[in-house]
Structure 1
Amino acid sequence: MHWLADLLAAIGVVLNGIPQGIMAMSLGFAIFPTMFSFIFASAVNGAFGAVAPLSFQAESLALTGKLGRNLRERTSIILGGSIIMLLIGVTGTLTKIVAILGNNIMAGMMAGVGIMLAKIALGMAKDERLTGWLSVGLAAITYLVTKDLVWTIVISVVGSSLAAVFIEHYRAELPEHVTARRFIFTKPTISLRVVRGALSLACLNIGANISYGLITGQMTGQKPNPVDLNLLTGTQALADMGTSLLGGAPVEAIISATASAPEPVVAGVMMMLIMAAILAIGWLPKLGKYVPSASIAGFLFILGTVVIFPENATAALHGADGTVAAITLVVTAVADPFAGLLSGAALKFILPLIGLGV
């Protein structure tokens, strides 16, 4: 009966990913070409026995939506970030970057991302008050009761969406390029905003691949940790690189419950293939018409304030580089991950060279 447990774990992660897929549509990303990212990642994981799957990730979507003003800028940011991550994955420098900067500074950057997500969630709630605040309230209550992110996202998204549909008579008309079951080439553009966005997205993915990848590996109970961070980084980069040119959404590393299934590789592959089928058939756009973007506000708020921030802030502020990590945290929260890591690196390495310390 292992296959049934694997299937249930896969379905649980799919349920977690669907609202974030709807968030991707609200940002203008095309859904149909994104299925190839899931197919590609499932093939790589199946071939190499990798336990860490890819899926829609709220952090990367929120950051890309904040930094890019339109679809062309957002897909260009994803393309640039994926090129950077591919170089990092191929050269095997992911763990070296962390070793150079230190765990404190990386944790400070991730804690800053937690605050950034909370700010985005509250902004959504202010813009769409009924849906947004109801989503935040339902998410807070559900997480306090269950301590389970899957239940948190399901109840907050479904509850706030039902309220929007039946009270406000919400029904969105998604742009044609979002729902079209064909490929539309999106010409990349380059600007200071795009370059900075690509660097910020790469910085976020460095932290996410290490933390989420290793956590997923720990959930398998296998020692040593079975996650190959370079393989995960290369897979994610190649998946994003292809779909970004077709206007598709990014798929990134996640903390996946499939790792705790009896056959974690099989469960992860099943999850990605199920998600690819949902995108290919066109079910996600049909759901998206009745799910406001602000319905994800509660999940983003809990993810940022309760899941990401406390653990990373605690790790950041303990140790010799605690002050530098705190500054990295604040700069990331008010600006972006690239500015945060850049300020942390400058304080750690440049100030001692000129005889100053923090």
Structure 2
Amino acid sequence: MHWFADLMAAIGVVLNGIPQGIMAMGLGFAVFPTTFSFLLVAAINFIFHSVAPVSFQAESLALTGNLGRNTREFTSIIFGGSIIMAIIGFTGVLTRIVHLFGNHIITAMMAGVGIMLAKIALDMSKVHRHSLTGWLSILVAVITYLISKDLVWTICLSVILSSLYAVFGEHYQASLPANVTVRKFIFTKPMFNLRILRGALSLACLNIGANLSYGLITGQMTGIKPNPVNLNLLTSSQALADMGTSLLGGAPVETIISATASAPEPVIAGCLMMLIMAAILALGWLQKIGKYVPSSSIAGFLFVLGMFVTFPENAASALAGKEQLVAATTMLVTALVDPFVGLLSGGLLKVLLPLFASL
């Protein structure tokens, strides 16, 4: 019965990814081209026996939407970030970057991202015309997570209940743009400006932290020692997937903490999850669901993910060492500005503090 357990784990992760795919559509990303990403990484994971799948990731979507101004800039940020991550992945310098900055700065940056996600969730609820939907989503998500400590239940209940309220209480039905629902590949030429450069660097910094934390956690869930996750392979495959789909106007996929790693056959379960997601996108089912799910329905999951999942663990790890001032600065600058500036400020402070102390 291993196949049934693998299938159930795969479906659970798919249920977690669908609302974040809807969030991607809310930002104007086409989701049909993302079929390419899921198929590519599924093939790479199967060939190289990697247990770490990719999917829609709320953190990267929220950050991209926060730093860009329109869909063209969003896809350009994704493309730029994927080039940076491809260089990091193929050269194998990910661990050297961590050694250079220090684990406490990386975890502090991730804690700052947690605060950023919570703020985005609150702003989404305040400014969206379906504001009650957003607040209801946050309320349901917080209650569900405090009771269950389960992110799948949290995202399912908060999105479903808030969407039902939006549809029946506020008569919500979205008219998605043609570029979001179209089921064909359309080349999207990247553009460049300083905002896109900043966004690409920030996205790369976020992915460095996510690949380390989420990738290694997924590997630990298998119970196999040593950790079966190849971080360079994970980084390279994710970068190639995003590079391809961004040129087609598609939504990005990133590293996630995946329950498929705890399945009897973690590689098969992860590949199965990505194949199911690819089928959902190719058949246009996500686009149909998205018409009845407002983007503010994801606010609850973003808030819980930021304040209850991402922030506490990373903040505790970052502030546990001796360089608490460096970690706190990285955390706050990341939350107030972006991950790249946060990481850079932490690195500079780490270098400057000993110099000032020796004067």
TM range, normalised to the smaller chain?
A: over 0.9
Residue 168 (str. 1) matches residue 200 (str. 2): no
Give how far 1:197 is off. Answer: 0.2
Q: How does 1:291-330 map to 2 (within 5 A)?
A: 291-330=293-332
The equivalent of 1:269 in structure 2 is: 271
Q: How does 1:281-296 map to 2 (within 5 A)?
A: 281-296=283-298
The residue matched to 2:176 in structure 1 has which SS?
A: coil
Query: After superposition, what is the alpha-carbon deviation per residue over 1:322-350, rounded to whole angstroms, capped at 9, x for unaligned?
Result: 11010000000000000000100111124
The residue matched to 1:184 in structure 2 has which SS?
A: coil
The equivalent of 1:39 in structure 2 is: 39
Determine the C-alpha separation between the residues in 2 that align with 1:340 and 1:87. Answer: 21
Aligned length: 357
The equivalent of 1:233 in structure 2 is: 235
The equivalent of 1:71 in structure 2 is: 71
Give how far 1:122 is off. Answer: 0.3
Query: After superposition, what is the alpha-carbon deviation per residue over 1:91-121, rounded to whole angstroms, capped at 9, x for unaligned?
Result: 1110111111111111110000000000000
1:234 partner letter: S
Determine the C-alpha separation between the residues in 1 that align with 2:347 and 2:145. Answer: 36
The equivalent of 1:159 in structure 2 is: 161
Q: Percent identity?
A: 73
The equivalent of 2:97 in structure 1 is: 97
Determine the C-alpha separation between the residues in 2 that align with 1:130 and 1:73. Answer: 29
1:316 partner letter: A
Residue 86 (str. 1) matches residue 72 (str. 2): no
Determine the C-alpha separation between the residues in 2 that align with 1:47 and 1:217. Answer: 17
Query: After superposition, what is the alpha-carbon deviation per residue over 1:171-207, rounded to whole angstroms, capped at 9, x for unaligned?
Result: 0000001000111111111000000000000000000
Query: After superposition, what is the alpha-carbon deviation per residue over 1:238-291, rounded to whole angstroms, capped at 9, x for unaligned?
Result: 000000001001100000000000000000000000000000000000000000
The equivalent of 2:204 in structure 1 is: 202
CA RMSD in angstroms comes to 1.0
1:267 partner letter: A
TM-score by length of 1: 0.98
Determine the C-alpha separation between the residues in 1 that align with 2:320 and 2:41. Answer: 36
1:250 partner letter: P
Give how far 1:351 is off. Answer: 4.2
2:233 partner letter: L
Determine the C-alpha separation between the residues in 1 that align with 2:357 and 2:199. Answer: 31
Give how far 1:318 is off. Answer: 1.3
Q: How does 1:109-258 map to 2 (within 5 A)?
A: 109-127=109-127, 128-258=130-260
- Unaligned 5+ runs, structure 1: none
Determine the C-alpha separation between the residues in 1 that align with 2:14 and 2:282. Answer: 14
Determine the C-alpha separation between the residues in 1 that align with 2:16 and 2:357. Answer: 47
The residue matched to 2:33 in structure 1 has which SS?
A: helix
